Chain A
Amino acid sequence: DVKVTQSSRYLVKRTGEKVFLECVQDMDHENMFWYRQDPGLGLRLIYFSYDVKMKEKGDIPEGYSVSREKKERFSLILESASTNQTSMYLCASSLRGTTYEQYFGPGTRLTVT
């Protein structure tokens, strides 16, 4: 089975802190994605990567950056956390190709105080 893991289920950070959210997949997937999920807004794509060291902005990249140094690991970075970044963050991965579904991690609920 595909396994996507995220470093924390729950995280509490202070405004202005630098925050790292880590995602690891074990199925050699080329594509990896970061979403945030907010009530009433569904999932919105922050960044994605289709290869090592490659990254593309999604719909809401402002305030975030990403890093993909190894194929299995995709990190989301909040350079200076703000309260409006309090959200559920979901990581996903998929094989290259256009028909493959995305497999999701369990999510990280981040609270910025």
Chain B
Amino acid sequence: AQKITQTQPGMFVQEKEAVTLDCTYDTSDQSYGLFWYKQPSSGEMIFLIYQGSYDEQNATEGRYSLNFQKARKSANLVISASQLGDSAMYFCAMREDYSGYSTLTFGKGTMLLVSP
């Protein structure tokens, strides 16, 4: 079973509008973390935002916020006031903790296109 599910292969939004990228996850652990990364066409992976499973407040970083609904196991990324430069692939990832180290499991990604 997939641990991270991103159901939207592609999303279109107009500049200055808000957009929500969906992410659901599957874990039985109590301690975990959720990340969002952006990958522009140039290929580098850029860290956007992080939410820990024990964090009570939703994470925010500038125009990015993470809508964390623990009971529903969802961690949607909200981008407010989209810009042309937001056009990219977006990946949701879940941190799984082991003894002494942790790994990330990534979703398949959502391609966001922002139009003028």
Contacts and interface: CB of A to CB of B under 8 A. Distances in A.
Interface residues of B, number: 26
Interface residues on A, range: 20 to 34
A102 interface: yes
Contact of A43 (B33, B44, B91): B91
Contacts, number: 55
Interface string B39-61: 00011110100101000000000
A45 B44 contact: no
Interface stretch (B63-71, B80-88, B99-107): B99-107
B52 to A, nearest CB: 6
A21 interface: no
Contact of B44 (A98, A101, A107): A107
B52 A103 contact: no
B108 A104 contact: no
Contacts of A25: none
Given A43-B106, A50-B100, A101 B47 contact: yes
Nearest to B102: A98
Contacts of A43: 91, 93, 106
A10 B106 CA distance: 23
A90 B45 contact: yes
A51 B105 CA distance: 20
Contact of B35 (A40, A58, A101): A101
A98 B31 contact: yes
Given A31-B101, A96-B101, A98-B33, A42 B107 contact: yes
Contacts of A42: 4, 91, 106-109
B26 interface: no
Nearest to B101: A50
21 contacts: A31-B101, A33-B103, A42-B4, A42-B109, A43-B93, A45-B104, A45-B105, A48-B101, A50-B101, A59-B105, A88-B43, A92-B45, A96-B101, A98-B97, A98-B102, A99-B33, A99-B52, A101-B47, A102-B104, A104-B44, A106-B44
Interface of A: 31, 33, 35, 40-45, 48, 50, 56, 58-59, 88, 90, 92, 96, 98-99, 101-107
